[in-house]
Chains A and B, each alone.
Chain A
Amino acid sequence: MSLSEEEVRKIAHLGGLAIRDENIPRYAQSLSSILDLVNQMEAVDTVEIQPMAHPLDAIQRLRPDEVRETDQRAEFQPLAPQVENGLYLVPKVIE
Chain B
Amino acid sequence: MEWETVIGLEIHAQLATHSKIFSAASTAYGAEANTQACAIDLGMPGMLPVLNAEAVRMAVKLGLATGSEITRRSVFARKNYFYPDLPKGYQISQFELPIVGPGTLEIELKDGTRKQVGITRAHLEEDAGKSLHEDFHGMSGIDLNRAGTPLIEIVSEPDMRSAAEAIAYMKKIHTLVRYLEICDGNMQEGSFRCDANVSIRPVGAAEFGTRTELKNINSFRFVERAINYEVERQIDVLESGGTVTQETRLYDTDKNETRPMRSKEEANDYRYFPDPDLLPVELDEDYIQAIADTLPELPDPKRERFQQEYDLSAYDAGVLSASRELADFYEATVAAAKGTAKLTANWVMGELAGVLNKQSLDIGASRISPEQLGGLVLRIEDNTISGKIAKEVFEAMWSEQQDADTIIEARGLRQITDTGAIESLIDEVIEAHPKQTEQYRGGAEKLLGFFVGQVMKRSQGKANPGMVNKVLRDKLGGS
Contact = CB atoms under 8 A, between A and B. Distances in A.
Interface of A: 10, 13-14, 16, 51, 53-56, 58-69, 71-73, 76-77, 82, 84-95
User: Which interface residue of A16, A55, A67 has the most chain B CB atoms within 10 A?
Assistant: A67
Given A59-B280, A69-B24, A95-B261, A89 B19 contact: no
A68 B19 contact: yes
Contacts of A76: 34, 37, 39, 42
Top 3 A-B pairs ranked by shortest CB distance? A87-B141, A65-B54, A62-B53
A95 B131 CA distance: 11
A82 B139 contact: yes
Nearest to B50: A63
Interface in B122-152: 131-133, 136, 138-144
Interface stretch (B82-90, B175-183, B328-336): B82-90
B278 interface: yes
Contact of A66 (B18, B131, B261): B18
Contacts of A65: 17-19, 52-55
B279 A60 contact: yes
B25 A67 contact: yes
B35 A73 contact: yes
A42 to B, nearest CB: 17
Contacts of A51: 96
A39 B385 CA distance: 86
Given A63-B52, A89-B139, A94-B133, A68 B33 contact: no
B337 interface: no
A94 to B, nearest CB: 7
Interface stretch (B266-274, B319-327, B354-362, B459-467): B266-274
B35 A89 contact: no
27 contacts: A53-B75, A53-B97, A53-B279, A53-B280, A56-B279, A59-B281, A60-B51, A60-B279, A60-B281, A61-B50, A62-B53, A62-B56, A65-B19, A68-B24, A69-B23, A69-B24, A69-B38, A76-B37, A86-B143, A87-B34, A90-B142, A91-B140, A92-B138, A93-B84, A93-B131, A95-B250, A95-B261
Contacts of A73: 34-35, 37
B351 interface: no
A88 B25 CA distance: 18
Contacts of A93: 83-84, 131, 133, 140
A63 B24 contact: yes
A66 B131 CA distance: 27
A7 to B, nearest CB: 12
A82 B136 CA distance: 11
Nearest to A85: B33
A64 B57 CA distance: 11
A68 B276 CA distance: 24
A87 B429 CA distance: 77
B428 interface: no
Most buried by A among B35, B56, B82, B139: B139
Nearest to A16: B82
Contacts of A71: 35-36
B218 interface: no
With most chain A CB atoms within 10 A of its CB, the pick from B38, B82, B276 is B38
B25 A10 contact: no
Contacts of B228: none
A77 B55 CA distance: 29
Nearest to B139: A89
B18 A95 contact: no
B34 A84 contact: no
Contacts of B262: 95
A62 B51 contact: yes
Nearest to B26: A67
**Residue from A13, A87, A95 with most neighbouring chain B CB atoms (10 Å):** A87
Nearest to B277: A54
B32 interface: yes
Nearest to B84: A90
Contacts of A86: 32-35, 143
B80 interface: yes
